[in-house]
Amino acid sequence: MARRIVLDCDPGHDDAVALLLAHGNPEVELVAVTTVAGNQTLDKVTWNARSVATLAGITGVPIAAGCDRPLVRDLTVAAHIHGVSGLDGTRLPEPTAELDPRHAVDVIIESIMAADPGEITLVPTAPLTNIAMAMRREPRIVPRVREVVLMGGSCTRGNITPAAEFNVAVDPEAAAAVFAGEWPVTMVGLDLTHQALTTADVLARIAAIGTPVATAVVELLTFYRRSYQADQRMSDPPMHDPCAVARVIAPDVMAVRDAFVAVETQGRWTSGMTVTDFGRTPNTLVATTLDVPRFWDLVIDALTAIGTPVVT
Ligand code: BDR
Ligand code: CA
């Protein structure tokens, strides 16, 4: 049976690929797509989620907008990576995928409470504001969630600062609540995602699919590649967010280690750091090593399976 997931995202180039991977792979079922301010403002990332859903023919999946800012801090966006729209690089279709009128936090809670205990997996690929709000608003969701497989954090280095990864750094208070929650958490952080490099070979394989979806992905990732070259001095950009979806689809696509992870919320220079202790009673599975060829096969197979949906 397909694993049922709620994808909480901020598209975002790699979020868009995560959404396409979840849609195109039969091992997961999208129960809901929820958005949160992060890579860009809430209105932009929500439009982007609906547009990508339209492009790919994703229907019957609620798409709901959530928190427009972190719990206590001002919003920091990542226009330096994702552009002014949050998804620069291609001309996306005007969305026909409807916006669910409910708040994303309610959609998350209702999706979990309506399902059997242990059925729903949360896959956050953005600041953890919506997830922390949902835990606080309805604590009964915590023991009902199968697991939280999040893209965020790092046990070695950061990207938005030397110490902190973007998703955790934007809302460290929310991340601290999620890591401290009494539910299984898998941290798919930079240590892992920096192995998922979007090489020229990968782009050529996606281009060879030849569908409008694949063409749009190549255009998006070409922009994303240039951003990483200019801002992060990396020649091939890391495909962060689909790694979390891949972990749900095929857990053995990556190795994990038990660790204790705490989020630094006070540090002047280290705010948002995911302080990782492999020697202490664990609260997290930390992803360490990726089966890179298998990961890209999953992504490319999903893009191929989506085919050529009609853009309405
Ligand atoms: C994370 O930050 C965002 O810019 C990406 O979408 C990803 O979720 C990587 O640090
Ligand atoms: Ca993201």
Q: Indicate the Cα dihedral angle 225, 231, 235, 240, nearest 10°.
A: -60
Q: Give distance in angstroms: CA of 233 to centre of ligand 1.
A: 16
Do the strands 274-277 and 254-263 form a parallel or antiparallel pair, or are they unpaired?
Answer: antiparallel
Q: Take atom 2 of ligand 1 and give the residue whose Cα is closest.
A: 166
User: In which band, very low, low, confident or very high, does the pLDDT at 311 lie, cut at 50, 70 and 90?
Assistant: low
Amino acid of residue 115: A
Q: Residue 165 CA: which ligand 1 atom is closest?
A: 10
Q: Can you spell out the DSSP letters for 32-48? A: EEEE-SSSS-HHHHHHH
Do the strands 3-9 and 120-124 form a parallel or antiparallel pair, or are they unpaired?
Answer: parallel
Whether 310 shows a pLDDT value over 80: the answer reads: no
Taking Cα atoms as reference points, which of 175, 138, 132, 16 lies closest to residue 85? Answer: 16
Q: Give distance in angstroms: CA of 242 to centre of ligand 2.
A: 9
pTM score, whole prediction: 0.98
Amino acid of residue 278: F
15 touches ligand 1 (CB under 6 Å): yes
Taking Cα atoms as reference points, which of 134, 11, 113, 135 lies closest to residue 63? Answer: 11
Residues annotated as catalytic are 240
Residue appearing with tokens 């255009």: 219
Q: Residue 13 CA: which ligand 1 atom is closest?
A: 6
The mean of the pLDDT values for the chain is 97
The SS3 of residue 72 is: coil
Whether 309 shows a pLDDT value over 90: the answer reads: no
Q: Give distance in angstroms: CA of 37 to centre of ligand 2.
A: 10
48 touches ligand 1 (CB under 6 Å): no
Mean pLDDT computed over 249-262:
98
Mean pLDDT computed over 167-174:
98
User: In which band, very low, low, confident or very high, does the pLDDT at 258 lie, cut at 50, 70 and 90?
Assistant: very high
* Cα–Cα distance measured from residue 224 to residue 48, given in angstroms and rounded to the nearest whole number: 15
Q: Which phi and psi (to 5°) does residue 277 adopt?
A: -120, 110
39 touches ligand 1 (CB under 6 Å): yes
171 touches ligand 1 (CB under 6 Å): no
pLDDT at 284: 98
User: In which band, very low, low, confident or very high, does the pLDDT at 307 lie, cut at 50, 70 and 90?
Assistant: confident
User: In which band, very low, low, confident or very high, does the pLDDT at 308 lie, cut at 50, 70 and 90?
Assistant: confident
pLDDT at 312: 52
Mean pLDDT computed over 13-28:
98
Sheet holding 3-9, edge to edge: 63-65, 28-35, 3-9, 120-124, 147-151, 185-188, 284-290, 254-263, 274-277
Encode pLDDT of 207-255 as tens digits: 999 999 999 999 999 999 999 999 989 999 999 999 999 999 999 999 9
Q: Take atom 10 of ligand 1 and give the residue whose Cα is closest.
A: 166
End-to-end CA gap in the chain = 31
Whether 158 shows a pLDDT value over 60: the answer reads: yes
CB atoms within 10 A of CB 91: 7
Encode pLDDT of 98-142 as tens digits: 999 999 999 999 999 999 999 999 999 999 999 999 999 999 999
Which residue among 87, 123, 125 has the greatest number of ligand 1 atoms within 8 angstroms of its CB, and so is best to mutate?
A: 125
Q: Residue 151 CA: which ligand 1 atom is closest?
A: 8
* Cα–Cα distance measured from residue 110 to residue 278, given in angstroms and rounded to the nearest whole number: 35
Residue appearing with tokens 């030397």: 162
Whether 161 shows a pLDDT value over 90: the answer reads: yes
pLDDT at 304: 98
Q: Give distance in angstroms: CA of 209 to centre of ligand 1.
A: 26
Query: What is the H or E stretch that residue 168 is in?
Result: helix 166-170
